A and B are shown apart, each in its own frame.
Chain A
């Protein structure tokens, strides 16, 4: 059932008159083993032979291997991605460029994108995560946009393992050190801990950037005779074949042997590169610019040529290198960080160099734009590779695989969970335990290591439902969030993906922002396995459905496959990065209660759902089973409109989405989550469903709001008009008072200071253990 195709016109005929490179002395002979080692299948090699009309040289084989890797070529996901909605009147640039771009009004445009650095982070958490942030920031500023915020979506195994604590702390430090040095505020994101991510953490970084509409520049090599210039750091031997590495499964012993494929970040050089790039773009001396990211010089040069429909010639001997004796193969495939490829207008190379010198950076002319459609590589004038550019970038075979749901998941979904719902009466201890789990508790341990207020524009710092930054000198704001519940997606990928889009949108409307557009990061296992491909297809279908209904087109993103360790895949984790626009930042709504006596109202309905919950995982030995909560997209849409209307009318004192840990934990987060004092509350629930489900179930489509007592009737009336179920739950209590929730068959009654303590110690209680470093070291050595 495997089905191969090439987009466009099928495999082009080779041009027999194209010049052939002589084999380079010292290059290995092309053998079936060497081809296989490059991750190229026999069928794909056949296609290469047809494109070339001859056997490729070693250098050419390396170039194909990188460009046709999953990481660059999207060969197993491209067909699915076409199912996603990508258009709307406000979309300026959709998928296919370095980042998506949308119109945010007042002549301004917002570039944003999410990208994964999972494999490098599994091997070298600090550098892996740091360079992940570096890469996504380059994607933004090479569009001409100044980065204004970063977020991250992280997954790790449980924190009781020393190895996981080592990965977690290294990743957080790596993200922090890079973004902090660059001076880009971190405004949020998410983290989840689950044993499904043991050995294969997920590190997805998202960045947003702002530009004037006319400053948008594309990664195109246009204008025959224009000069290609390598800019920034020198090229070394680090990260060679990183793109191919990212497209393989990890093995238990991957750590040590794979280290050389991980790059090292230098945020200082990147900061200079940022300033220099923006100055260059504004100077008008260049026509195109692109990050040398995955597959380095190869992908940047060939993609720029491919997009412009032109050709390029590059001389590797002219590329500034860090070490002697690098071969064209190595120079082309190096993933040394903080490098860019710039297309300078012919005759303006000196001006380009002058701008870079101001920022203490190097620029070297390494080639030029041609019109023959070839990706031509020379080494000191000798031809070493000559490949048709378009088939190289767009001719990667794409596959539609067989997808069948795994039987294991079917069984888990049908598991009888009635005993889980049995506990009744005083559930205070359950509540405190759950609130103290790293999946529910405060993320402050993470955010405190990130600069969240640099650039003096952060209106909502991390820890709320979504981060919000002011747009330039306007009254407008942009809100951003990342969301995905991997457990939901594991048990039902389509429903889980719908839930992820719905949660992202809920998080945005809770701040008062209108959901506007999406970037996604599809993290999955090995697509060649039918049950994994099934997950991918279902998740994309669910995402497409929700994004269409919400009018939040997908403007780009990233696919990370082969997230497996020793044959075991992570949960399907299609992370949604969503941005929203706020017309007046003074109307921004926070997630925490503001005032004693305010009325607490629940929007949405409580249902008896406990499947896939943190309660189940936490109290039942890591069980992930049952049906994930049902998502009613139409009801979600009504809820979004209702909340936005309330925010617009200035009626909301706080709004907070219900997610992990359910209604009780959402109420706790609103009570103790902010910088202000912890406030108690008194809440009465009426539904006669199992109290465990009522208090801790993760039913979607619910938002906890608080309103002034005098506004209560108006709020309920507006909700009725919008078709949003709304019910008064109780009132905000005194500072340091009791946190009390009464349900028909259950009760939570604890001093709010205890709630505060458990909430804020959830992560520190693991991370501040004395044994951390030794523990981690023994795990690495083992």
Chain B
């Protein structure tokens, strides 16, 4: 299946996502440029990490206005699977495709190291190949990753089983010291109401090779392939 990786000016994980997809059986990744207006009939879309347009105003705030985002929005509203990683998550929130916002880390510092995240739900196109409660080791690398949303939105996310990943300890416990950026409800990743749009701060594309320390991120891409080849809705 064909999966598009969107390159904004300032994207810097586009090639990493491309590589991770390429290493996934059954996937043919393609780049799409921010000025493109057409996704070209792909089966899924990945918004990679980086600093789109420099992120000088607010992470993702400019990227949402780029031509390609109109196409991505239409694709998502039609039920097409979209994954936003790190800056991609920020772009999805800024575009209104996901609720909430990613605020500056309370440390006021960029934070980059491997963290543990717990799989909260397998009922998404992105997590069906994991076990519920499974703990993954995946790196984070961001300065603005503190997920926040109004209480009613958080309640909705909880109630609708839309929290996909939470930061946890190595054995799956929730603790303030295991929540690297003070995210509300330890949230590391969520899906939209239609469950076809995933946003997450950790970088699964950096956890697909043993040599580089972890293969725990593979499941997301494998789940996506599984979903697309089954033609099923979650």
B211 x A585 contact (CB < 8 A): yes
Note all chain A residues with C-beta closer than 8 A to B50. Answer: 183
Near A by CB (< 8 A), chain B positions 77-102 give none
Q: In the complex, A449→B109 CA distance in Å? A: 7
Which one of B14-22, B118-126, B155-163, B219-227 contacts A?
A: B14-22
User: B110 contacts which of A183, A272, A449 (Cβ < 8 Å)?
Assistant: A449
In whole Å, how far is A765's beta carbon from the nearest beta carbon of chain B?
Answer: 16
Q: In the complex, A40→B206 CA distance in Å? A: 53
21 contacts between A and B (CB under 8 A): A176-B110, A180-B141, A181-B10, A268-B51, A268-B55, A271-B51, A272-B10, A359-B9, A360-B9, A447-B112, A449-B110, A449-B111, A453-B203, A454-B12, A454-B16, A454-B49, A455-B15, A456-B16, A456-B205, A456-B209, A586-B211
In whole Å, how far is B51's beta carbon from the nearest beta carbon of chain A?
Answer: 5
B212 x A271 contact (CB < 8 A): no
B141 x A454 contact (CB < 8 A): yes
Note all chain A residues with C-beta closer than 8 A to B109. Answer: 173, 176, 448-449
Instruction: Kindly report which residue of chain B lies nearest to residue A458, judged by CB atoms.
Output: B212
Near A by CB (< 8 A), chain B positions 103-133 give 109-114
Note all chain A residues with C-beta closer than 8 A to B110. Answer: 173, 176-177, 180, 449-451
Instruction: Kindly report which residue of chain A lies nearest to residue B208, judged by CB atoms.
Output: A456
A456 x B112 contact (CB < 8 A): no
Q: In the complex, A181→B112 CA distance in Å? A: 13
Near B by CB (< 8 A), chain A positions 445-477 give 447-459, 470
Interface 1/0 per residue, B125-145 and A, CB below 8 Å: 000000000000001010100
User: B212 contacts which of A181, A266, A456 (Cβ < 8 Å)?
Assistant: A456
Near B by CB (< 8 A), chain A positions 324-374 give 359-360
User: A453 contacts which of B19, B51, B53, B141 (Cβ < 8 Å)?
Assistant: B141
Q: Does A675 count as interface, using CB distance less than 8 angstroms?
A: yes
A456 x B9 contact (CB < 8 A): no
A448 x B113 contact (CB < 8 A): yes
Q: Does A572 count as interface, using CB distance less than 8 angstroms?
A: no
Instruction: Kindly report which residue of chain A lies nearest to residue B35, judged by CB atoms.
Output: A358
Q: In the complex, A586→B209 CA distance in Å? A: 12
Q: Does B73 count as interface, using CB distance less than 8 angstroms?
A: no
User: A271 contacts which of B12, B56, B111 (Cβ < 8 Å)?
Assistant: B12
B16 x A455 contact (CB < 8 A): yes
Interface 1/0 per residue, A753-765 and B, CB below 8 Å: 0000000000000
In whole Å, how far is B122's beta carbon from the nearest beta carbon of chain A?
Answer: 26
Q: A268-B56, A454-B49 are in contact. List 18 more A-B contacts (CB 8 A).
A: A176-B110, A177-B110, A181-B54, A182-B12, A267-B51, A268-B10, A268-B54, A268-B55, A271-B9, A360-B9, A448-B111, A448-B112, A451-B112, A452-B112, A455-B16, A459-B211, A586-B211, A675-B114
Note all chain A residues with C-beta closer than 8 A to B6. Answer: none
Q: In the complex, A359→B114 CA distance in Å? A: 32
Q: In the complex, A173→B143 CA distance in Å? A: 11
B53 x A470 contact (CB < 8 A): no
Note all chain B residues with C-beta closer than 8 A to A448. Answer: 109, 111-113
In whole Å, how far is A311's beta carbon from the nearest beta carbon of chain B?
Answer: 36
Q: Does B13 count as interface, using CB distance less than 8 angstroms?
A: yes
Note all chain B residues with C-beta closer than 8 A to A359. Answer: 9
Question: A: which residues have CB within 8 A of B?
Answer: 173, 176-177, 180-183, 266-269, 271-272, 359-360, 444, 447-459, 470, 585-586, 675
In whole Å, how far is A175's beta carbon from the nearest beta carbon of chain B?
Answer: 10
Q: In the complex, A452→B110 CA distance in Å? A: 12
A183 x B212 contact (CB < 8 A): no
Note all chain B residues with C-beta closer than 8 A to A272. Answer: 9-10
In whole Å, how far is B36's beta carbon from the nearest beta carbon of chain A?
Answer: 12
Instruction: Kindly report which residue of chain B lies nearest to residue A275, judged by CB atoms.
Output: B9
In whole Å, how far is A471's beta carbon from the nearest beta carbon of chain B?
Answer: 12
Note all chain A residues with C-beta closer than 8 A to B139. Answer: 453
Note all chain A residues with C-beta closer than 8 A to B19. Answer: 456
In whole Å, how far is B89's beta carbon from the nearest beta carbon of chain A?
Answer: 16
Q: In the complex, A447→B141 CA distance in Å? A: 11
Q: In the complex, A585→B210 CA distance in Å? A: 12
A456 x B206 contact (CB < 8 A): yes
Max chain A C-beta neighbours (<10 A), residue from B15, B53, B110: B110
B205 x A268 contact (CB < 8 A): no
In whole Å, how far is A430's beta carbon from the nearest beta carbon of chain B?
Answer: 30
Note all chain A residues with C-beta closer than 8 A to B143. Answer: 177, 180
Note all chain A residues with C-beta closer than 8 A to B16. Answer: 454-456
In whole Å, how far is A684's beta carbon from the nearest beta carbon of chain B?
Answer: 33
Across the A-B interface, the 6 shortest Cβ-Cβ residue pairs: A183-B12, A268-B54, A451-B141, A181-B51, A456-B16, A453-B206
Interface 1/0 per residue, B1-42 and A, CB below 8 Å: 000000001101101100110000000000000000000000
Instruction: Kindly report which residue of chain B lies nearest to residue A182, judged by CB atoms.
Output: B12
Q: In the complex, A470→B212 CA distance in Å? A: 9
Instruction: Kindly report which residue of chain A lies nearest to residue B33, judged by CB atoms.
Output: A358
Q: In the complex, A173→B110 CA distance in Å? A: 8
Instruction: Kindly report which residue of chain B lies nearest to residue A450, judged by CB atoms.
Output: B112
Q: In the complex, A182→B12 CA distance in Å? A: 7
Max chain B C-beta neighbours (<10 A), residue from A177, A268, A360, A675: A268
B206 x A267 contact (CB < 8 A): no
In whole Å, how far is B19's beta carbon from the nearest beta carbon of chain A?
Answer: 6
A268 x B53 contact (CB < 8 A): yes
A459 x B51 contact (CB < 8 A): no
Instruction: Kindly report which residue of chain B lies nearest to residue A360, judged by CB atoms.
Output: B9
Max chain B C-beta neighbours (<10 A), residue from A177, A183, A444, A450: A183
A453 x B212 contact (CB < 8 A): yes
Instruction: Kindly report which residue of chain B lies nearest to residue A146, judged by CB atoms.
Output: B15
Note all chain B residues with C-beta closer than 8 A to A458. Answer: 212
Note all chain A residues with C-beta closer than 8 A to B206. Answer: 453-454, 456
Q: In the complex, A56→B211 CA distance in Å? A: 61
Note all chain A residues with C-beta closer than 8 A to B56. Answer: 268
In whole Å, how far is B85's beta carbon from the nearest beta carbon of chain A?
Answer: 12
Near A by CB (< 8 A), chain B positions 184-214 give 203, 205-206, 208-209, 211-212
Note all chain B residues with C-beta closer than 8 A to A457. Answer: 212
A266 x B54 contact (CB < 8 A): yes
Note all chain B residues with C-beta closer than 8 A to A449. Answer: 109-112
Max chain A C-beta neighbours (<10 A), residue from B9, B16, B203: B9
Q: A173-B109, A453-B112, A454-B16 are in contact. Are A268 and B209 (CB under 8 A)?
A: no
Q: In the complex, A550→B15 CA distance in Å? A: 37
Q: In the complex, A455→B203 CA distance in Å? A: 11
Note all chain B residues with C-beta closer than 8 A to A470. Answer: 211
Note all chain A residues with C-beta closer than 8 A to B211. Answer: 459, 470, 585-586
Q: In the complex, A451→B139 CA distance in Å? A: 10
In whole Å, how far is B15's beta carbon from the nearest beta carbon of chain A?
Answer: 7
A267 x B54 contact (CB < 8 A): yes
Q: In the complex, A360→B52 CA distance in Å? A: 13
A459 x B112 contact (CB < 8 A): no
In whole Å, how far is A486's beta carbon from the nearest beta carbon of chain B?
Answer: 27
Note all chain B residues with C-beta closer than 8 A to A456. Answer: 16, 19-20, 205-206, 208-209, 212
Q: In the complex, A470→B209 CA distance in Å? A: 12
Instruction: Kindly report which residue of chain A lies nearest to residue B138, judged by CB atoms.
Output: A453
User: B13 contacts which of A183, A266, A447 (Cβ < 8 Å)?
Assistant: A183
Note all chain B residues with C-beta closer than 8 A to A176. Answer: 109-110
In whole Å, how far is A148's beta carbon from the nearest beta carbon of chain B?
Answer: 12
Q: In the complex, A337→B125 CA distance in Å? A: 45
Note all chain A residues with C-beta closer than 8 A to B54. Answer: 181, 266-269
Instruction: Kindly report which residue of chain A lies nearest to residue B111, judged by CB atoms.
Output: A448
Note all chain B residues with C-beta closer than 8 A to A459. Answer: 211-212
In whole Å, how far is B141's beta carbon from the nearest beta carbon of chain A?
Answer: 4
Note all chain B residues with C-beta closer than 8 A to A675. Answer: 114
Note all chain A residues with C-beta closer than 8 A to B112. Answer: 180, 447-453
Q: In the complex, A183→B110 CA distance in Å? A: 13
Q: In the complex, A448→B203 CA distance in Å? A: 15
In whole Å, how far is B52's beta carbon from the nearest beta carbon of chain A?
Answer: 9
Note all chain A residues with C-beta closer than 8 A to B205. Answer: 456
B141 x A268 contact (CB < 8 A): no
In whole Å, how far is B224's beta carbon from the nearest beta carbon of chain A?
Answer: 18
